[in-house]
Structure 1
Amino acid sequence: MEVTNVFGRVVLVVGPESLLAERAVDALVRDALVERPGASVNRVSAVDLDAGRLAEVTGGSLFASDTIVVVTDLADLAHDLVDTVASFATQPSDELALVLVHPGGNKGKGLLDRLKKAKVATRDCPTIKAWELPQFAVAEARALGGRLEAPTAATLVEAIGGDTRGVAAAVRQLIADSDDRHISETDVHRYFAGRADVTSFTVADHVMSGRRDEALGALRWALETGVPPVLVTSALASSLRSQGRYSDLAGARVRDAEVAQQVGVPPWKVKDLARHSRDWTPRGLASALQLVARADAAVKGAASDPAFALEQLVIGVAAQRGRRPEAGMGR
Structure 2
Amino acid sequence: MSESRTTVSLVPPATRRRTGSRPSAKTPGRSWDEPALAPVVLVRGAEPLLTERAVDGVVRLARERDPEVEKVELEGATYTAGQLTVAASPSLFGEAKIVVVRGAESGTEDLVQDVVAYVARPDEETTVVVVHGGGQRGKKMLDAVIRSGAPVLVCDPITRDGEKASFVMNEFKAARRRADADAVRALVDGLGNDLRELASACSQLIADTTGTITEATVDRYYGGRVEATGFRVADAAVAGDPGAAVSLLRHALSTGLDPVPIVAALAVRLRNLAKVAAMRGGGITARDLGMAPWQVDRATKDLRRWTPEGLAAAISAVAQADADVKGEARDPVYAVEKAVLAITQARRG
| TM-score, length of structure 1 as denominator length | 0.65
Q: Does 1:114 align with 2:144?
A: yes
Q: Matched residue pairs, number? A: 293
Matches within 5 A, 1:80-159: 80-128=110-158, 129-159=160-190
Equivalence for 1:183: 212
Q: Which amino acid is the alignment partner of residue 98 of structure 1? A: V
Is 1:163 equivalent to 2:163 in the alignment?
Answer: no
1:147 partner SS: coil
How much has 1:28 moved relative to structure 2?
Answer: 0.9
Q: How well do the aligned residues superpose, as a CA RMSD in angstroms?
A: 4.5
**Bigger Cα displacement from structure 2, 241-250 vs 161-170:** 241-250
Deviation at 1:91, TM superposition (A): 1.3
Pairs within 5 Å for 1:201-240? 202-203=229-230, 206=233, 218=252, 221=255, 240=267
Closer/same/farther in 2, CA of residues 156 and 81 from structure 1, 3 Å limit = closer
Paired with 1:267 and 1:79, the residues of 2 have a C-alpha distance of 49
| Amino acid in structure 2 at the alignment position of 1:73 | G
Q: 1:236 to 1:51 in 2, by over 3 A?
A: farther
Residue 27 to residue 248, structure 1, CA distance change in 2 (3 Å): closer
Answer 1 or 2: higher relative contact order, Cα 8 Å, separation at least 6. 2
Distance (whole Å) between structure 1 residues aligned to residue 331 and residue 269 of structure 2: 22
Q: What residue in structure 1 maps to residue 102 of structure 2?
A: 72
Residue 146 of structure 1 deviates from its aligned partner by 2.1
Contact residue 237 and residue 289 of structure 1 kept, 8 A: no
Q: Quote the Cα distance in structure 2 between the aligned partners of 1:156 and 1:241.
A: 15
Q: 1:123 to 1:149 in 2, by over 3 A?
A: same
Equivalent position of 1:42 in the other structure? 72
Instruction: Note if 1:267 corresponds to 2:302.
Output: no
CA distance in 2, matches of 1:216, 1:64: 67
TM-score by length of 2: 0.63
Cα separation, partners in 2 of 1:137 and 1:241, compared to 1, 3 Å: closer
Distance (whole Å) between structure 2 residues aligned to residue 243 and residue 206 of structure 1: 12
Aligned with 1:11 (options 38, 41, 44) = 41
Q: CA deviation at 1:220?
A: 7.0
Task: Check whether the contact 2:116–2:140 (CA below 8 A) recurs between aligned residues.
Answer: no
Which deviates the most, 75-84 or 152-161? Answer: 152-161
Change (3 A) 1:57 1:30: same
Give the AA of the match of 1:176. A
> Where does residue 319 of structure 2 map in the other structure?
285
Question: Does the aligned pair in 1 maintain the 2:45–2:134 contact within 8 Å?
Answer: yes
Secondary structure in 2 aligned to 1:279?
A: helix
Letter in 1 for 2:184: A
Q: Residue 25 in 1 paired to residue 25 in 2?
A: no
Q: Which moved more, 1:68-77 or 1:264-273?
A: 264-273
> 1:47 touches 1:73 (CA, 8 Å); kept in 2?
yes
1:11–1:122 contact (8 Å) kept in structure 2: yes
Matched AA of 1:51: A
Question: Match for residue 199 of structure 1?
Answer: 226
Aligned counterpart, 2:10:
none
- In structure 2, what is the Cα distance between the partners aligned to 1:122 and 1:244? 35
**Distance in 1 between residues matched to 2:246 and 2:140, nearest whole Å:** 48
Q: CA deviation at 1:41?
A: 0.9
Check the 8 A contact 1:204/1:215 in 2, yes or no. no
Distance in 2 separating the partners of 1:102 and 1:218: 41
User: Aligned letter for 2:189?
Assistant: E
- CA distance in 2 between counterparts of 1:167 and 1:69 reads 29
User: For structure 1, which runs of at least 5 residues remain unmatched after alignment?
Assistant: 224-228, 295-310, 324-331
**CA, structure 1 residues 260+24, in 2 after alignment: closer, same or farther (shift >3 Å)?**
closer
Residue ranges of structure 2 left out of the alignment (5+ in a row):
1-13, 16-34, 343-349
Cα 1:193/1:66, change in 2 over 3 Å: same
Residue number in structure 1 paired with 2:30: none
Question: Does the 8 Å contact 2:161/2:290 carry over to 1?
Answer: no
Q: Which residue of 1 aligns with 2:22?
A: none
CA deviations on 1:231-268 (whole Å, 9 max, x unpaired) are x9789668758866976886563479835742657436
Structure 1 residues 22 and 5: alpha-carbon distance in aligned structure 2, compared to 1, 3 A threshold: closer
The question of whether the paired residues in 2 share the 8 Å contact of 1:280 and 1:321 is answered with no
Letter in 2 for 1:114: A
Report the Cα distance in structure 1 between the residues aligned to 2:74 and 2:271, rounded to whole angstroms: 41
Find the residue that maps to 1:123 and give its secondary structure.
strand
Q: 1: distance between equivalents of 2:87 and 2:65?
A: 19
**Deviation of residue 59 (structure 1)?**
3.9
CA offsets 1:56-113 (integer angstroms, 9 cap, x no match): 4334555665321112222112234213212322211124211112233444444323
